[in-house]
Structures are given as C-alpha cells and as structure tokens.
Amino acid sequence: MYYSDFNPENRPEEQQPQQTFEATSYRIEDDVRPTKKKKRVWPKITALCLVCALLGGGAGAGVMALTGGVKGSTTVYQGDHAPTVVNVSNVTTKEPLTAAQIYATYVNATVGITTEINTNVYGQVVQTAASGSGFVISQDGYIVTNYHVIEDASKITVTFVDGKSYDATLVGGDEENDIAVLKIDATGLATVVIGSSDNLVVGDQVYAIGNPLGELTYSLTGGYVSALDRNVTMSDGRRMNYIQTDAAINSGNSGGALFDQYGQVVGIVSAKLSNNGDSSEASVEGIGFAIPIDNVWSMITDIMEYGYVTGKPYMGIINTNVSGEAQRYGVSAGAYVLGVVEDSCAAKAGLQVEDIITKIDDTDITSSDDLQNALAEYRAGDTATLTVSRSGQTQTLTITFDERTDERVAASQELHDQLEEEQNQQYGQQYGNGYGGYGYGWPFGW
C-alpha cells in the first residue's frame, strides 16, 4: 500500500483540481480486519418498508497495490484527511471542495450499469433490463456497485459519461453486505479516491453521482449526513449499518458513490426509505442510506484478490423458525435445526436435528434471522458458546466456526434440497400430490 500526505487547505481553487502523489510502497500481506466485529444493537423499522433501489430507468490520496490473483498490479487511490472537529462553542474544519469541483473531477469515474436478466417464472426465458450505478476504483477497470444491482444478471454493461460502453465481468460479490466488484477490459480510466466514513460527523455535506430512474443519467444530488451507524432491518430480515442522508436517492442510484465534502468516497448508495406506494402511509422524503466504506473496504479488496470475502463464518446447518403455535405449547423460540451438514463445525460441536438454538454467547436467538445476523459478528476460526433447547432441556455447546467456501455452501444446498424433497414426499403421501414445496409437512414450518 502507498500513502501520501494530504491537506485540503493546499487544494487549488480551479474548477478541476489536479492531484499529485508522492508515494512509498507498503505491501499488504494479511487481512487487516479485526478477528471479531463489535456488537451492535439492531432496532427494527416496522412502520415503513425499506426498499432497495433495484431498477431505474481534487483530493489528496494514497495508493494501494493489489498483486494477488490478478495479472500485473492494480492501483486504488485512498485519501486521508483530518476529521472535522466539532465543539460546542467552535467548529474547526478544512477547506472543502465545491459541488461543481467534485462533479467535474469525478463524473468521469461514475458509470451507469445495465443488466440483462433471464427469468423463468412461467417456464419461459425472457430478458429484462435493470439500471443502477457504480464507480471506478482503479485505472485498470475495477468497478464497485451494489450486489442487488447485478444479482442474477446474465449480462452486465457499464457506460461512462462520454457514451463509451463496456461488457463487464462479475469478479465477485457479497449479498449480505450488498457489495459487488466488476471488471472491464480498459486501462487509463479516471478513478475515485477512497476516503474514510469513520471521519464523518452528522451535519457534514455529502454528494451522490448516479443514474436516478435509469434515465436521468449522471445526476448530482447533495445533502447532509443525517445520522451515522443507523441500524436498519431490511424488508427481507437482513440488518444493515448505514449512513443516513437527506441527499436525494432514487431507484437507479443504487451502487453509486457517496462523496464527502473533500471529494472522497465515504459510502456506497444502497437504499431509501419508502412507503412502497401505499397511499395510506405518510409520504417519505429525504431518508436515504449508504453503506459506510470503512465497513466494507476490506471485503472489496478481498473480492479483488480472491473473488470472494474471506473469513466469513459457516455453521453447516439448515434451520427455520419455531412457529408461534409451537411456542404457545411451550416450545422455546429460536432457530430450529432441520439438518446438520456432515463433518461441519456444527456436527463436530454436537448439534443435532430438532435442537433449537436460543443463544450465541450473550446474544439471544429467537428466529433464523437472529441467527444469521448474529453470525455476521464472527469470523471463521472464532469460538462461541451455543445455548440450545433439546427435548425441553437446556444444553450448552462450544463451536469453532468454519470458513464459508463454495464447497461448503454447495454441501448446505445439497442437504437443503434433500430435506425439501423428503418434506414434499411426506406431505404428498399424507395429503395428496400437488402441494409440495410450501412447508406444510414440517412441524415448525419451512
């Protein structure tokens, strides 16, 4: 990794500021993420539905060199500046860039993303188009966007402000953290500068460049940081930690860069709060969310280096929720174990089918979503204590998490498919054919 000094006060006032780098090399050899994330409290948003935007019609810097699984060397620019100091009686800050300077400098590093998706809802193969945004992080064509922008895509095309388009290859992505990395065959590209979301304070100005509605391409919107570490429960049960902003964010902005007032990327625009078209709910405006760049930067570099996020924990179980009806009969709430993958860490820890996981360390588990979100706080190799209810008796087990790999995920999927087939056969024999696959056969749901 290369670093250089940065002082925003030294930035020239020209419309398109020039960047100068004097760097010395420092090579990253190890994963620098902590072995375990800090615990967070995850409040749920229940009044409104949080909807991800799926469809839609100069700064000083350092340099990071990645030389692992790619040919040659890839350069990513990382910025550094002193965080804004906020006192009750005095506010001290560095000289920020104007919105016009930020746009002129970085619009060339912003892309529109169009995907073709093969769907097979009724046995027919059709192609649909979905639009999102992304930003270039290296001169040799690495681009960051949201996972949900490119999910299930059969073809990905990125387009620059000058009209040039490229076919993009998916290097890898992480659905849980809603990030993806693309690669195009190009060199000498304009790039963004990666900043630090940890330096933000509420009230800082931020700007987004993206493609709202997929038609109003390369639009600049601006606003303020409304809140930090906003913990949000998504409509699918995932819990995300966000920067909240009142900058206008609409469908098609997903995957675009959120810039701070120094022109550095501090977030990845991801979602907005919406009433989902329900006229009975109050109109929602000015509540947008971006993924803090510091939360996912090491994951992005993992994907660039290895094609996936390393160190993610894997248990090796198939689980579901304990139904409300079962709980009324005294069954503990928790994650009900439907199956255990052979030779997995769960099997080695002694987990059994029909166990109900009620706690991991000090975190209560009342559902499968709770279990999934709790696992996000651990890394492969971490050891935890599981509290389980087995035949009405409470037991504690010690588990050391495996690393999630494609092979282990495939083993879980194979077990899932096997259990589902058994469930379908059981229900078909009992109630007749034609209703399999809906979970009626399991006492705790599917």
What DSSP character marks residue 246? -
- Give CA–CA dist 270/254, Å, rounded: 5
Of 80, 138, 148, 370, which residue is the catalytic one? 148
CB-side exposure of 26: number of CA atoms within 13 Å?
Answer: 10
- Give CA–CA dist 429/300, Å, rounded: 48
Q: What is the CA radius of gyration of the chain?
A: 24
User: Does 368 participate in catalysis according to the annotation?
Assistant: no
What DSSP character marks residue 69? S
CB-side exposure of 357: number of CA atoms within 13 Å?
Answer: 38
Helices (H) and strands (E) in the chain, counts: 7, 25
Of 133, 251, 254, 368, which residue is the catalytic one? 254
- Give CA–CA dist 15/101, Å, rounded: 5
- Quote the tokens at residue 443: 């006492």
What DSSP character marks residue 172? E
Q: Report which of 346, 58, 324, 376 is spatially closest to residue 190, judged by C-alpha positions.
A: 58
Return all residues near 104 (Cβ < 8 A) that are at least 6 apart.
15, 16
Beta bridge partners of 91: 86
Return all residues near 117 (Cβ < 8 A) that are at least 6 apart.
127, 128, 129, 130, 152, 153, 154
User: Does 362 participate in catalysis according to the annotation?
Assistant: no
Of 80, 178, 302, 402, which residue is the catalytic one? 178
213 by DSSP, 3-state: which? Answer: helix
- Give CA–CA dist 429/432, Å, rounded: 6
Q: Strands, DSSP E only, in 21-109?
A: 49-52, 62-66, 74-78, 85-86, 91-92
The answer to whether the Cα torsion of 41, 239, 256, 294 is positive or negative is: positive
- Give CA–CA dist 212/302, Å, rounded: 29
**Helix or strand holding residue 115 (H, E):** strand 110-119
User: Does 402 participate in catalysis according to the annotation?
Assistant: no
Contact 186, 137 (CB under 8 A): no
Looking at residue 57, its amino acid is G
Return all residues near 122 (Cβ < 8 A) that are at least 6 apart.
none
Which are the catalytic amino acids?
148, 178, 254
